[in-house]
Amino acid sequence: MSDIEDEAKPESRQSSVDPDKRSSRSRSVSIREVAEQCGGEVMGNDELLLYGMSAIRNAEPNSLSFWCGQQTTEFLDQSQPAAVLVTRENAACFSCSKIIVEDPYLAYARVSALFAAPPAGDNVGIDPTAKVHPDVLLDDGVIIGPFSVVGANCKIGKDTRLGAHVVIDENCVIGADCRISAGVILRANTRIGNRCQLSPGVVIGASGFGYAPSQDGWQRITQLGGVVLGDDVDVGANTTIDRGAIVDTIIGNRVKLDNQIQLAHNVKVGDDTIMAGCVAIAGSTEIGARCQLGGRVSVLGHLRIADEVVLNAGAFVSSSISETGTYSSMIPAQPVKKWRKTVAYLNRLGKLFGKND
């Protein structure tokens, strides 16, 4: 580790690797561009070019990394990034160039997109194999990939990109600067805001699970509503959002959904809520703003969840939650003999409190 006085002469750590032979998954970015993107201050070689990002434990020469100061420091002497995002109080831990920021992890999130390789085919426009209805309104810079289909009366905003095999049914509206990945399906009457990202296999606007009992079995209820996504919504791979039965299913601004999530018909999700993988929300439930749902959380239908509620992984919610806070349920995995005893004890709680029902 370096002393504080070493900061005045940081090593550039430029690699001898030919940048032209580096992986196509990243591109070169100047350290000044990185600092500008995250509002940081360069300390060291301000002419440095960075080629991709590396985890701090196995940082590669010519790469950018970040250090939050919470991990073990044993490996820092062997870590050799060209530059690191770091707080001022932890800057002395590194002899390389530094970008001083208040929150290194947030700074990493803000600059990560700079290192993404530009997608191939920027100038493709509409691929010859795509089928686009004549009355579709396309703004400037729209790209439609191979074998994609866009139905009648749709509007697609400026600089939005559709990957291969995307299907957009009739009467859909997609905002500007969206990224619709391969295999996404938008059913009729879906509206998507600006700067949304839909990962491969997403299905938005599928028919909700609605049936009425009859003497002849189950009578299907035709779902007449649509789906509305706000701005800056991210939807993970193979996530499904059903259209409303009569009113729309509504997903607020800046909502982030992980992979394989199921949101049923008429669900409403408030702004800035985030959900981890395999969450399932039943029909007509409303999730508040700024909520956090851990993996495999299940919420029954027709409930109301307040703003800023945290549901820990695996929680099962069977009644509305009206107060902000953190909620948990489930029994964590344990040896089966111990688990059986735990369940037996739970079943005896009624007798313990003098209740036999």
Q: What CATH number is attached to the domain comprising 11?
A: 3.40.1390.10
pLDDT for 144-164, tens place per residue? 999 999 999 999 999 999 999
On the 0-12 / 13-18 / 19+ scale of CB atoms within 10 A, 12 is middle
pLDDT at 355: 65
Q: What is the pLDDT of residue 123?
A: 54
Last residue of a domain, one of 64, 93, 115: 115
* In-domain check, residue 287: yes
3-state SS, 138-174, equals ECCCCEECCCCEECCCCEECCCCEECCCCEECCCCEE
Same-domain status, 87 and 192 = no
Per-residue pLDDT of the chain (357 residues; tens, 9 = 90+): 333 233 333 333 333 344 443 444 457 899 999 999 999 999 998 899 998 888 888 788 889 999 887 766 667 777 788 999 999 998 888 889 999 999 999 999 999 989 886 665 555 689 999 999 999 999 999 999 999 999 999 999 999 999 999 999 999 999 999 999 999 999 999 999 999 999 999 999 999 898 899 998 999 989 999 999 999 999 999 999 999 999 999 999 999 999 999 999 999 999 999 999 999 999 999 999 999 999 999 999 999 999 999 999 999 999 999 999 999 987 888 899 998 998 898 888 888 887 665
Write phi, then psi, for 90 (nearest 5 degrees).
-105, 5
- What is the pLDDT at residue 268? 98
Q: Is 133 a catalytic residue?
A: no
What is the C-alpha separation between 180 and 228, in angstroms, rounded? Answer: 15
Q: Does 355 map to a domain? A: no
Claim to verify: residue 12 and residue 103 sit in the same structural domain: yes
Residue 203: which of 261, 250, 138 has the closest Cα?
A: 261
Q: Is residue 14 part of a domain?
A: yes
Number of domains in the chain: 2
Which H or E run contains 41?
strand 41-43
Asked if the structure places residue 320 within a domain, the reply is yes
- State the pLDDT at residue 15: 38
In a domain, 192, yes or no: yes
Give the domain extent around 239.
184-327
Same domain, 89 and 212: no
Q: Phi and psi for 108 in degrees, rounded to 5?
A: -55, -45
Pair 284, 208: CB distance under 8 Å: no
Domain with 243 in it: what CATH number?
A: 2.160.10.10
Residue holding tokens 């700079």? 114
H helices of 144-253, in order, are none
Same domain, 100 and 211: no
Q: What per-residue confidence (pLDDT) applies to 350?
A: 80
Q: Which residues contact 72 (CB under 8 A, 6 or more apart)?
A: none
**Same domain? 190 vs 278:** yes
For residue 303, tell me if it sits in a domain: yes
Catalytic residue among 133, 165, 265, 302: 265
Establish if 352 belongs to a structural domain. no
| pLDDT the model gives residue 119 | 60
Do 285 and 188 fall into the same domain? yes
Q: Residues with Cβ < 8 Å from 21, sequence gap 6 or more?
A: none
- pLDDT number for residue 357: 57
Residue indicated by tokens 């009859």 = 214
In a domain, 29, yes or no: yes
Among 81, 97, 115, identify where a domain stops: 115
Do 315 and 201 belong to one domain?
yes
- Among 115, 140, 171, the domain-final residue is 115
pTM attached to this predicted model: 0.82
